[in-house]
């Protein structure tokens, strides 16, 4: 008798924050055409486009735990975001720079010599701190808060 294999759809974990859906979903899969110049540079430097994009993301997000040599890269990324004008309709250049520095500080607290229990505690604390950190910046005075509906 032939067994039928049922394909199951891979489910992404439930979003931790309400807004982590659609374009801001944490588990995202992108399909796009790489700019030809970028692809050529990747090949010449012997780094896959996926690796280059991944390195950019972890350095920008402060989640790269390997600090050696990355301090300069992170500083260049901060300057890149500021030069591009990202977020400057809500925040000052100093605010944006501080955001990156605060994310780096969270990553620098990783318990390298800790056991599994300590690493688990750190991960739980880090996730709670990310929520706190996001809300702190999101609700900063320069951003207009949504008005509450009165009954």
Could you tell me the residue ranges of all domains in the chain?
38-138
Q: What is the pLDDT of residue 142?
A: 57
- CA proximity to 17, closest of 132, 96, 145: 132
| Token couple for 10 | 């891979």
Q: What is the pLDDT of residue 143?
A: 59
Q: pLDDT in tens for each of the 151 residues of the chain?
A: 566 666 666 677 777 778 888 888 877 788 889 999 999 999 999 999 999 998 888 888 877 666 655 788 888 989 999 999 999 888 999 999 999 999 888 888 889 888 999 999 999 999 999 999 999 999 886 555 555 555 4
pTM over 0.95? The answer is: no
Beta strands in 26-150 (DSSP E): none
Q: What is the pLDDT of residue 67?
A: 60
* Residue 33 to residue 49: CA distance in whole angstroms: 11
Q: What is the pLDDT of residue 7?
A: 64
Q: What is the pLDDT of residue 74?
A: 84
Q: What is the pLDDT of residue 64?
A: 66
């Amino acid at each position: 008798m032939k067994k039928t294999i049922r394909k199951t759809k891979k489910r992404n974990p439930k979003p931790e924050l309400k807004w982590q859906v659609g374009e801001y979903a944490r588990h995202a899969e992108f399909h796009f055409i790489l700019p030809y110049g970028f692809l050529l540079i990747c090949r010449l430097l012997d780094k896959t486009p996926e690796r280059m994009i991944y390195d950019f993301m972890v350095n920008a997000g402060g989640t790269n735990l390997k600090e050696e040599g990355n301090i300069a890269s992170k500083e260049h990324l901060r300057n890149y975001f500021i030069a591009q004008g990202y977020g400057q309709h809500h925040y000052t250049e100093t605010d944006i720079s501080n955001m990156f520095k605060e994310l780096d500080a969270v990553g620098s607290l990783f318990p390298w010599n800790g056991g599994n229990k300590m690493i688990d505690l750190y991960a739980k604390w880090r996730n709670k701190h990310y929520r706190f950190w996001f809300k702190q910046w999101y609700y900063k005075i320069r951003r207009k808060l949504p008005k509450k509906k009165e009954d």
